[in-house]
Amino acid sequence: MLLSGKIFLAAALDFVVGDPPRLPHPVILIGKLISALENLLYRPGRSAVAQQLAGALLVFFVVGVAYALTWLLLLFAYAGHYWLGLMLEVWLISTTLAARSLAQAARQVLKPLCRGDMLEARRMLGYIVGRQTGGLPPSEIVRATVETVAENTSDGFVAPLFYALLGGAPLAMAYKAVNTLDSMLGYKNERYLYFGRPAARLDDIANFVPARLTGLLLVLAAWWSGRRARLAWLTMRRDARRHPSPNSGYPEAAVAGALGVRLGGHNYYHGRVSFRPYLGREIYPLQPGHIRAAVDLMYLAAAFGVLLGCGLRYLLGG
């Protein structure tokens, strides 16, 4: 089977099944490897240069292991039986995609929010965002959830899809290693300012193209669903670069324009306030229904990404 067909099946598996909790997930194993190496390599008394070198060594090793082990697993599986290799490859690619998991996480915030259970809504939000959620009013819960859905449309689906189309399961798994490294080490605090810098920089590089493709796919999704495609495009062009991340602003600004809402504002991290520039203009105040709309846009953008990406890969002979 061509790679395009395998990726199409993997995306369909993610849409329908997602990540069954009883099955082992490769990202959990990657996270355990990162933690073990961090304990081995991190030394707080070292110079900034030494810490960055140690962080770079960790990044190189984890990404290399993720790629090499995936490649070897598939090599042995296909050597044993073609169908075993095929099923393993489709499953491995599907584990790098997270559309269904992202939608479920957003809905777990939406359900208590709709019934007025703010404590539960804040608690569920805390599982998917890094900011403090205690005391957030409903509009801020909605904002945080919409921003997370928009950002993770790129990180959780389009980016791994992009790398799967380029290099199959091994490259997609290497990307998930990069993304996991950033989520665990890419903080600008005392511990990770230097040690985590290589992970953060590599994540910025790896997501540069996928984030901008995601913005375009979200504009296409807005057009297809009858939302504000033109405003999504204009907002992305105008506001995306205001975001402190070189990449996250593109999907977030596109969603803000498509929904006619304003994202960004004050967030609190460990008691400290951080202001993110506003994206979009407030045509409508943020309401729980915007979470549903963001999930719908995410699914449409993901579907268009699969169809266009697999179609192009097929035309190129794969």
- DSSP letters, 176-200, are HHHHHHHHHH---STTTTTTTHHHH
pLDDT tens string 172-221? 999 999 999 999 999 888 899 999 999 999 999 999 999 999 999 999 99
What distance separates the 2 farthest-apart alpha carbons in the chain? 58
What are the Cα distances from residue 308, in Å, to 49, 51, 149, 254, 259?
43, 42, 21, 19, 24
Residue 23: per-residue pLDDT: 73
pLDDT tens column, 308-318: 999 999 998 87
Please tell me the chain's helix, strand, coil percentages from 3-state DSSP, rounded to the nearest 5: 70, 5, 25
Per-residue pLDDT band for 272 (boundaries 50, 70, 90) equals confident
pLDDT digits (tens, 9 = 90+) for 286-315: 999 999 999 999 999 999 999 999 999 999
Beta-strand runs (E) in 119-251: none
Placement of tokens 């493709």 in the chain: 213
> Residue with structure tokens 């599982």?
127
Contacts of 238 (CB under 8 A, 6+ apart): 253
CA 23, 120, 130, 252 torsion: positive or negative?
A: positive
